[in-house]
Amino acid sequence: MKSLTSRRATAIVVAIAAGSLALTGCSENKGSSSGKDSKKDQKEAATQSKAVTYGDAAASTGPAEEVAGAKSGGTIQVYQEAGLSHLDPGQIYVSDAGQVANLLYRGLTNFEEDGKGNVSVVGDLATDSGKSSDGGKTWTFTLKDGIKDENGVEITSADIRHSVERLYAEFIFDGPTYLQTWLSGAKYREALPDGGFGKKHLPDSVLETPDDKTVVFHFDTARPDLPQTLAMPGYSVVTEKSDTKAKYDKAPVSTGPYKISEYKVGKTLKLVKNENWDPKTDSVRHQYVDGFNFDFGVTESTQTKRLISDQGAAKSAIQFTGSVDATQIQDVIDDPAVNKRTIKGYQPYVMTLTFNLDRVKNKAVRDAVTYAINSKSLIAGEGGAYGGDVAPNLFAPTLPGYEAKYDPYGRLKTPSGNIEKAKELLKDVPAAEKKLVFAYGNTEQGQKRKVAIEDALSKVGIEVVSKEIDSASYYEQIGKLKNPYDMYVSGWGQDWPSPGTVVTPIYDGDQVADGAPNYSHINDPKVQELIKKALSQEPTEAAATWREAQHYILEEINPSAPLWYTKQFQLYGSNIGGARYSTESSYIDVTRLFLKS
| Of the listed ranges 34-48, 234-248, 480-494, the one predicted with least confidence | 34-48
Question: In this structure, how many other beta carbons lie within 10 angstroms of the beta carbon of residue 65?
Answer: 18
| pTM summary value | 0.82
In the predicted structure, residue 12 carries a pLDDT above the cut 80: no
Q: What stretches of 125-177 show up as alpha helix (H) in DSSP?
A: 157-165
Sign of CA dihedral 331, 336, 341, 343: positive
Give which of 591, 580, 565 is closest to 32, Cα–Cα: 565
What is the distance between the alpha carbons of residues 362 and 216, in angstroms, rounded to a whole number? 48
Average pLDDT, the chain: 90
* The pLDDT value given to residue 51: 59
How large a percentage of the chain has pLDDT more than 90?
Answer: 81
- Report whether 91 contacts 174 (CB < 8 A): yes
Please tell me what DSSP assigns to residue 492: E
How much is the pLDDT for 535?
86
Region of 134 (left: φ > 0; alpha: ψ -120 to 50; beta: rest) is: left
pLDDT score at 134: 95
Q: Give residue 194's pLDDT.
A: 93
How far CA 470 is from CA of 84, 156, 275, 513, in Å, comes to 11, 39, 35, 21
50: Cβ contacts below 8 Å, ≥ 6 apart? 20, 21, 117, 118, 119
The pLDDT value given to residue 576: 98
**Average pLDDT for residues 251-278, to the nearest whole number?**
97
What's the rounded Cα separation, in Å, for the pair 311 and 306? Answer: 7
Q: Are 528 and 80 a contacting pair, CB within 8 Å?
A: no
Asked if residues 87 and 48 have their Cβ atoms less than 8 Å apart, the reply is no
Mean pLDDT of 106-118: 90
pLDDT attached to residue 115 = 82
**What is the predicted pLDDT for the residue at 95?**
86
Query: How far, in Å, are 222, 226, 496 from residue 16 at the CA level?
Result: 11, 11, 12
**Residue 594 β-bridge partners:** 577
Sorting pLDDT into bands at 50, 70 and 90, what band is 119? confident
With the CA atoms of 506, 512, 517 and 522 taken in that order, what torsion angle do they form, in degrees rounded to the nearest 10? 40
Nearest to 178 by CA among 396, 498, 504, 400: 504
pLDDT tens track for 530-578: 999 998 887 788 889 999 999 999 999 999 999 999 989 999 999 999 9
Averaged pLDDT, 447-453: 97
Q: Which of 3-7, 408-412, 451-455 has the lowest mean pLDDT?
A: 3-7
The 10s digit of each residue's pLDDT in 28-63 is 544 333 344 566 666 555 544 555 789 999 999 999
Nearest to 532 by CA among 557, 494, 500, 495: 500
Cα–Cα distance, 342 to 326 (Å, whole number)? 14
pLDDT band (50, 70, 90) for residue 298: very high
Residue 261 neighbours by CB distance under 10 Å? 12
Peptide bond into 63 cis (omega under 30): yes
Report pLDDT for 39. 60
Distance CA 77, CA 314 (A): 7
Distance of CA 20 to the CA centre of its chain: 15
Chain centroid to CA 158: 28
Residue 89 — left, alpha, or beta (φ > 0 → left; ψ -120 to 50 → alpha)? alpha
Length of the chain: 597
- Does pLDDT of 15 surpass 50? no
Q: How far apart are CA 27 and CA 91, in angstroms?
A: 12
Is residue 389 pLDDT above 50, yes or no?
yes
Ramachandran quadrant class, 152 (left: phi over 0; alpha: psi -120 to 50; beta: rest): left
Contact 441, 82 (CB under 8 A): yes
Summarize pLDDT for 463-478 with one digit per residue, the tens: 999 999 999 899 999 9
Band (16; pLDDT cuts 50, 70, 90): very low
- Distance, CA of 214 to CA of 130 (rounded, Å): 11
